Structure 1
């Protein structure tokens, strides 16, 4: 009986918490998901860039782990995070994704392929020394910048 009461209370608690995380608009959920993924990428890429620029000490183990995390994210299926109509014109102030993302397929896929190639190359050498990291980190940043320049609204300060 004691376990049944705990289970009942847990289910009640869950029913109160789940609606907080689930938005009624599935496009808002998709926007939040892709923004979260970009934050995770930035969280891992930032220290690698800082190491490459000498703004923080180069740590081979950490550099390898961070590059490995970026590589792991390549396997994430984000197709559900990009539903048509989830752009900045439909959701101003919620996303900076331009509508041309959805009208430029398959051309936009080149950016994803270039990003994957650059991340794989970075992952192969990130822990092998500062010069190795520096030789590959720029390509990752350039692929991010290329896609963002073409498919993301400029950040308004």
Structure 2
């Protein structure tokens, strides 16, 4: 419960005052580049968990699962909202984005979605620490649904 409340508060701060401060330090082109890298790294870690826990196409390694879950949780709580500064709703230089412009008018909703992702990745870490494969499958699905909820609303196809 504390982790969920903390994640919600953190998301609100990041999406508010923190965004302006970070956007001044990192150029719009680099903001897009960095957030794409973060999401790619999340995808890679989701793939490791999927291969071992869901598909079982790779031997299960609790240490790898825990590292991947912690990585996902760290990124979800890293303040990536600061990488959605003004002007990053369109191509900047060589960096293209698939974010829908309307996301920039709905930061309270985005903060709520971000808090949901942080809560879901927290559950994934808890399941990985407990080495509970059933809980891992459930938590993995929750993380995926959390990602999908944001993509469905704010990602161009």
Q: TM-score range by the shorter chain?
A: 0.7 to 0.9
Aligned match of 1:138 in 120, 141, 149?
Answer: 141
Write 1 or 2 for the structure with the bigger share of helix.
2
**Relative contact order higher in (CA < 8 Å, ≥ 6 apart):** 2
Alpha carbons of structure 1 residues 39 and 140: separation in structure 2 relative to 1, 3 Å: same
Alpha carbons of structure 1 residues 79 and 131: separation in structure 2 relative to 1, 3 Å: closer
State how 1:17-96 maps to structure 2 within 5 Å.
Answer: 26-51=27-52, 52-88=54-90, 94-96=96-98
Q: TM-score, normalised by structure 2?
A: 0.74
Q: Is the 8 A contact 2:35 2:83 kept in 1?
A: yes
Pick the structure with greater CA Rg. 1
Q: Is the 8 A contact 2:76 2:114 kept in 1?
A: no
Alpha carbons of structure 1 residues 129 and 135: separation in structure 2 relative to 1, 3 Å: same
Q: TM-score, normalised by structure 1?
A: 0.74
Alpha carbons of structure 1 residues 75 and 107: separation in structure 2 relative to 1, 3 Å: closer
Please report how far the alpha carbon of residue 90 of structure 1 lies from its aligned counterpart in structure 2 after TM superposition: 7.0
Alpha carbons of structure 1 residues 112 and 122: separation in structure 2 relative to 1, 3 Å: same
Q: Distance in 1 between matches of 2:104 and 2:86?
A: 6
Please report how far the alpha carbon of residue 92 of structure 1 lies from its aligned counterpart in structure 2 after TM superposition: 9.5
Q: Distance in 1 between matches of 2:145 and 2:43?
A: 14
Structure 1 segments of 4+ aligned residues over 6 angstroms from their partners = 89-93
Please report how far the alpha carbon of residue 75 of structure 1 lies from its aligned counterpart in structure 2 after TM superposition: 3.6
Structure 2 unmatched runs, 5+: 1-25
Q: Distance in 1 between matches of 2:68 and 2:140?
A: 12
Whether 2:154 is the aligned partner of 1:151: answer yes
